[in-house]
Structure 1
Amino acid sequence: MKPVISALTLALGLGTVAAPAMASDVCMPAQELKASLVDWYGETPVEGQDDGAVQIWASDDTGTWSAVKTLSNGMACVTAQGANWMAGMTTDEMIVASAE
């Protein structure tokens, strides 16, 4: 019984530690982040989907999308991402749709 309790405690502890790390934004130098979106996901900036603070990148081929916030210090962060890209949706509509 003792090994089962230890394993359960370890699993719960790791889950608690891992959850906050997954919830945070992914940030790196802007050029590196944008190159990664192109290389890894085939995403490119979507025309008309730049509200000044966040720009949407998407791929019609893979159906993925990413909301990218570029900071004044040269860094950029992916603040949201999802699948099933549908052209014409606003950033808020995409975030809601990906949460469903």
Structure 2
Amino acid sequence: MTKTMFKMTMGLGLMVLAAQQVQAQGRNCAPREAVLKRLAETYSETRRGIGLVQQGSVMEVFASDETGTWTITVTMPNGVTCLVASGQSYETLAEALPAQGNDA
């Protein structure tokens, strides 16, 4: 289920990225080091997932079990990281995957 949740989160991130990438570059972007520092120090968030998206960018999911917050970021090839989405009530799921061969 963890892989399924990651794929769903990555899919959501891609959809949000496609809709907001141009707008986000001016308002919600900063050098990667500054973004990671802020997520760690302010929200206690650590990286929980990573994936490649369009044009060589990297999508990452950060979350905190302590605060329950989560953030999806996209880092461009030039090192600029943009916030794509964020929220509360993050939970790590440990559900069993369907048996092989079953169309679930």
Mapped pair 1:36 → 2:38: yes
Aligned residues: 64
Aligned amino acid, residue 79 of structure 1: V
- SS of the aligned residue for 2:35 comes to helix
Q: Equivalent residue for 1:73?
A: 78
TM-score normalised to structure 2 length: 0.57
Residue 51 of structure 1 corresponds to which residue in structure 2? 51
Structure ranking higher on relative contact order (CA contacts 8 Å, 6+ apart): 2
Return 5+ residue gaps in structure 2 as ranges. 1-22, 53-57, 94-104
- Between structure 1 and structure 2, the one with the greater Rg is 1
Q: TM-score, normalised by structure 1?
A: 0.59
Number of the residue aligned with 2:29: 27
Task: Determine the structure 1 residue equivalent to 2:91.
Answer: 86
Q: Unpaired segments of 5 or more residues in structure 1? A: 1-23, 89-100
Q: Alignment identity in percent?
A: 30
Q: Please give the root-mean-square deviation of Cα atoms over the aligned residues, in Å.
A: 1.6
- Name the CA distance, whole Å, in 2 between partners of 1:54 and 1:84: 20
Give the ranges of 4+ consecutive aligned residues of structure 1 lying more than 2 Å apart after TM superposition: none
